[in-house]
Amino acid sequence: MDVRALHDGWTLRPAGGEIPEEVDRAGWIPAQVPGTVHTDLLTAGLIPDPYVGENEAALTWMHRSAWEYRTRLDAGPPAPGERVELLFDGLDTVATLTLDGTELGRTVNMHRAHRFDLTRLTGPGELVVRFDSALEHAESVEKDVGARPRTYDHPFNAVRKMACSFGWDWGPDLQTAGIWRPVTLRRWRTARFATVRPLAGLDGTTGRLRVHVDVERSGLEAATALTVHVDLGRHGRAATVLDPASASAVLEVEVPEAPVWWPRGYGEQPLVDVGVRLCAHDGELLDERSYRTGFRDVRIDDSPDEFGTRTVVVVNGQPVFVRGVNWIPRDHLLTRLDADRYAAALDDAVDAHCNLVRVWGGGLWESEDFYRLCDERGLLVWQDFPLACAAYAEEDPLRTEFEAEVRENVTRLSHHPSLAVWSGGNENLQGHEDWGWKEELGSSTWGAGYYHDLFPALLAELDGTRPYQPGSPVSPATAPQGVHPNDPDHGTNHEWDVWNRLGWPHYRDRIPRFCAEFGYQAPPTLATIAEFLPADQRSATSPAFLAHQKALDGNGKLDRGMAPHTGVPSGFEDWVWAAQLNQARAVSCAVEHHRSWWPRTAGSIYWQLDDCWPVTSWAVVDGSGRRKPAFHALRRAFAPRMLTVQPRAGVPHVVVVNDTAQEFSTQVLVRRTTLTGEVLERTEFDVSVPARAVRTCPLPLVGGDGEPVVVDAGGLRAVHLEAPDKDLPWEPDPLRVGVTRVDGGYAVRVRAESFARDVTLLADVVAPDARVDDGLVTLLPGESHTFRVRSGAVVDAEEFAGALRTANRFGRS
């Protein structure tokens, strides 16, 4: 097999729609492949940056535009018996391909690869890929199959293009088009691998790798015997002969005392190299693939118990409390993502002590880099099939595309040990119950046949090594008949009433078995705001700010959410800090609550880790990769050992969570203080928490409204205070600051002179590249804390004092 990338010499030009004159006039411009029309127009200076100000709205003409990519193709004639193919790993989305005017084919699905046979047509000639408007295509499919309910304006559910391409409640509506994944020219003879599926499992201490191969034979030498070899280095090997009549085989390698892959926090992540080769009868190498896999076993315990129906992820026999984050595409302009950006984003998840990332159904089957990086980091992956918040027609042309797409992606991803859970999609089962779809649908299909029949059947055929859930949220089949898919007592649950209506203290009203989504908004960091918000629009109600706030009544919910806690500050920067602090409090409240109920609650997947552009959203890391204050709240709440105060039957209790393999024995110090931090009363007790367990004991001291109770244990701290900050006369300026320049940045030492609540250094205010190691630190008088800031900038040390924030700021004066 000879494989050559076809990434050079591409140009592109508009080919239909209402094209602005300057774009039209520019004619053919250089095109990057893989790439997208938006990024090429941006590079050519023909469109403004869609992430800045109100530019997104100025680009809606692109929704109904058509584009042509072209390059010169000279594959050279095939040798006798040789096949020549063009393989597009991804075309976004509605494409017609021609070579010197002869049509090679048409595509309508960005979630799969497309292969075209060029054996009779190798050029030289002009290869043209024409992209038509995906929106117009979706509108016409919708007309043919009948409209189905959906949560956003455009019919994203009628075309197999990333749903959030068409805008979401945190994302822009840009609707990209382009050759978005690699293109290769492939020449082969005799035979090639059509598919290879290495499925690894663990049975006790024995690892088992089953490699399923399908081969395609070609031309003259089709009727020949072939050999398939599987090589695991020192772990073993296997080989089999495919006689001329057979095209598939399963090779098995058993590895006694196999190295075991664990999610992080439970053990190591040993990965095993697997080489798969296809050889002719004379030993000539025809095709080969290489993989890194790992041996582990994963299942979901969905057995009923006295509270309802569990959802517990069990890896290698070990029940795991899922500390997770929801993942959306990390850049709306997908082709700007590379391995480094994926690594940085996944390192955010690692630093936040996560052990799972849920790839949300409005996005993608992610890139190879994504899953490889998760394998290496021990991050479990929960993969939604890409269907979200809509009813989906089960008729063609969609059905065929779904089947092809699922087959391809399940095969492509099957070897990754991190991939732990398949899920049929996001909120489609819930939408069908709750969002008025039934009346709208009448007898039309809506996707049930996918979630309950097609998808599980394909998985039974292709995988079988990992559990499948029909959707998220879902009540398991083991739950009583007729239970609502979002019932918190049964299976997975999405908690959105808290953000939408109730306010964060109400996370405690329910004890979900597994909370797969819950989130609270805040604006991005101030440095990121400065990147997208023109200087004359620095207010929460300016048109540019609101263009980057997509949630329904988002600012209203922010204001109503913060009002009872911090009040609603009038200055823009104070308002941003109040919203960010409130988000952080919401994150702590929810996660600490969830973890305190282990093992009744077995998972907490925060919505959402990341953003795809600069926007006010639920993310803890903003669109420019800067960590919001809530990141530090998540990190503390997800730490392996965690201390919190939680109500039990209306009485405050100290809860110590120990999600490590060792017992945690510690002394607990409890102090009741004044608002300035003088200690009024103190007591101590010992607690011993077994591995992977939680201990709950009554809080021995009772604070008053203006008397915080501070609990310390083993380097952890929890503060219990029932009155909101806005009602308390906090000392507004409780800190003294000293700054030292250190290798790679600064050490910012703060000392509290009075009770200092949630001390946070907004390092990005001082330098846009600055990252601080911690935040939301509460200090008693006399205590100090050093924030470590990484930055290449040379800044005036004084500026750090101006970037410090506390909750005290919102006290009553």
Q: Are strands 29-30 and 125-132 parallel, antiparallel or unpaired?
A: unpaired
Q: How many angstroms separate the CA atoms of 339 and 348, rounded? A: 14
Contact status: 810 vs ligand BMA (CB under 6 A): no
Q: How far is the CB of 434 from ligand BMA (least distance, A)?
A: 11
The partner residues of 654 in beta bridges, in order of sequence, read: 645, 697
Q: How far is the CB of 163 from ligand BMA (least distance, A)?
A: 9
* Closer by beta carbon to ligand BMA, 152 or else 746: 152
- Site map 532..561 versus ligand BMA, x via CB under 6 A: ------------------------------
* Closer by beta carbon to ligand BMA, 427 or else 610: 427
* Closer by beta carbon to ligand BMA, 156 or else 810: 156
Query: Which of 54, 136, 139, 169 is close enough to bind ligand BMA by CB under 6 A?
Result: 169
- Site map 445..464 versus ligand BMA, x via CB under 6 A: --------------------
Dihedral sign, CA of 427, 157, 12, 10? positive
474-511 burial, b if ≥16 CB within 10 A, otherwise e? Answer: bbbeebeeebbbbbbbbbbbbbeebbeeebbbebbeeb
What is the identity of the amino acid at 180?
Answer: W
Applying CB under 6 A, the span of 10-18, 164-172, 217-225, 625-633 interacting with ligand BMA comes to 164-172
Question: 346 to 365, contacts with ligand BMA by CB under 6 A?
Answer: 362
Q: How far is the CB of 412 from ligand BMA (least distance, A)?
A: 24
Q: How far is the CB of 639 from ligand BMA (least distance, A)?
A: 26
Contact status: 389 vs ligand BMA (CB under 6 A): yes
Q: How far is the CB of 628 from ligand BMA (least distance, A)?
A: 16
Q: How many angstroms separate the CA atoms of 611 and 619, rounded? A: 6
398-413 and 455-462 are packed helices; what angle lies between their axes, rounded to 10 degrees?
A: 30
What is the identity of the amino acid at 739?
Answer: V
* Closer by beta carbon to ligand BMA, 608 or else 806: 608
CB count within 10 Å of CB 648 equals 13
In a 10 Å sphere around its CB, with 0-12 CB exposed, 13-18 middle and 19+ buried, how is residue 706 labelled? middle
Q: How far is the CB of 66 from ligand BMA (least distance, A)?
A: 29
- Site map 410..439 versus ligand BMA, x via CB under 6 A: ----------------xx------------
Query: Which of 40, 297, 495, 517 is close enough to bind ligand BMA by CB under 6 A?
Result: 517
Distance from the Cα of residue 756 to its chain's centroid: 34
Q: Answer whether 152's CB lies under 8 Å from 166's CB.
A: yes
Q: Is 486 helix (H, G, I), strand (E, B) or coil?
A: coil
* Closer by beta carbon to ligand BMA, 69 or else 170: 170
Q: How far is the CB of 526 from ligand BMA (least distance, A)?
A: 23
Q: How far is the CB of 609 from ligand BMA (least distance, A)?
A: 13
Dihedral sign, CA of 636, 639, 644, 650? positive
* Closer by beta carbon to ligand BMA, 65 or else 486: 486
* Closer by beta carbon to ligand BMA, 265 or else 362: 362
Q: How many angstroms separate the CA atoms of 322 and 357, rounded? A: 9
* Closer by beta carbon to ligand BMA, 92 or else 427: 427
Dig out the tokens for 227 from the structure.
């050999």
Q: Answer whether 647's CB lies under 8 Å from 653's CB.
A: yes
Q: Are strands 664-673 and 237-242 parallel, antiparallel or unpaired?
A: unpaired
Applying CB under 6 A, the span of 54-62, 166-174, 645-653, 787-795 interacting with ligand BMA comes to 166-174
* Closer by beta carbon to ligand BMA, 169 or else 331: 169
- Site map 474..513 versus ligand BMA, x via CB under 6 A: --------------------x-------------------
Q: How far is the CB of 387 from ligand BMA (least distance, A)?
A: 11
Q: Is 723 helix (H, G, I), strand (E, B) or coil?
A: coil
Q: Is 84 helix (H, G, I), strand (E, B) or coil?
A: strand
Q: How far is the CB of 608 from ligand BMA (least distance, A)?
A: 7
Applying CB under 6 A, the span of 162-170, 252-260, 443-451, 759-767 interacting with ligand BMA comes to 162-170
- Site map 707..746 versus ligand BMA, x via CB under 6 A: ----------------------------------------
Q: How far is the CB of 422 from ligand BMA (least distance, A)?
A: 17
- Site map 118..157 versus ligand BMA, x via CB under 6 A: ----------------------------------------
Question: 761 to 800, contacts with ligand BMA by CB under 6 A?
Answer: none
In a 10 Å sphere around its CB, with 0-12 CB exposed, 13-18 middle and 19+ buried, how is residue 245 labelled? exposed
User: If you write DSSP's letter for every residue of 377-426 in order, what string do you get?
Assistant: HT-EEEEE-S-BSB----STTHHHHHHHHHHHHHHHHTT-TTEEEEES-B
Contact status: 168 vs ligand BMA (CB under 6 A): yes
Q: What is the dihedral of CA 409, 392, 613, 502, to 10 degrees?
A: -120
* Closer by beta carbon to ligand BMA, 350 or else 546: 546
Q: How many angstroms separate the CA atoms of 6 and 182, rounded? A: 8
* Closer by beta carbon to ligand BMA, 88 or else 607: 607
Q: How far is the CB of 552 from ligand BMA (least distance, A)?
A: 8
* Closer by beta carbon to ligand BMA, 168 or else 664: 168
* Closer by beta carbon to ligand BMA, 151 or else 676: 151
Applying CB under 6 A, the span of 168-176, 180-188, 584-592, 634-642 interacting with ligand BMA comes to 168-176
- Return all residues near 224 (Cβ < 8 A) that are at least 6 apart: 190, 191, 217, 244, 280, 281
In a 10 Å sphere around its CB, with 0-12 CB exposed, 13-18 middle and 19+ buried, how is residue 79 labelled? exposed
46 Rama class: left (phi>0) / alpha (psi -120 to 50) / beta: alpha
- Site map 604..623 versus ligand BMA, x via CB under 6 A: ---x----------------
Dihedral sign, CA of 718, 721, 722, 725? negative
Sheet architecture: strand order including 641-648: 641-648, 651-658, 693-698
How far is CA 271 from each of CA 258, 259, 340, 683, 735, rounded to the nearest angstrom?
Answer: 11, 8, 20, 49, 48
* Closer by beta carbon to ligand BMA, 517 or else 622: 517
Contact status: 592 vs ligand BMA (CB under 6 A): no
Q: How far is the CB of 169 from ligand BMA (least distance, A)?
A: 5
Cα angle at 105 between 100 and 108, to 5 degrees?
Answer: 130
Q: Tell me, what DSSP letter sits at residue 626?
A: P
User: How many positions of this chain bind ligand BMA (CB under 6 A)?
Assistant: 11
Query: Which of 166, 170, 572, 800 is close enough to bind ligand BMA by CB under 6 A?
Result: 170
* Closer by beta carbon to ligand BMA, 152 or else 261: 152
Q: How far is the CB of 617 from ligand BMA (least distance, A)?
A: 8
339-351 and 368-377 are packed helices; what angle lies between their axes, rounded to 10 degrees?
A: 40
Applying CB under 6 A, the span of 163-171, 392-400, 461-469, 507-515 interacting with ligand BMA comes to 163-171
Q: Answer whether 554's CB lies under 8 Å from 500's CB.
A: no
* Closer by beta carbon to ligand BMA, 35 or else 491: 491
* Closer by beta carbon to ligand BMA, 200 or else 388: 388
Q: Where are the beta strands (DSSP E) in 437-479?
A: 468-469
Residues in contact with ligand BMA by the rule CB under 6 A? 168-170, 362, 388-389, 426-427, 494, 517, 607
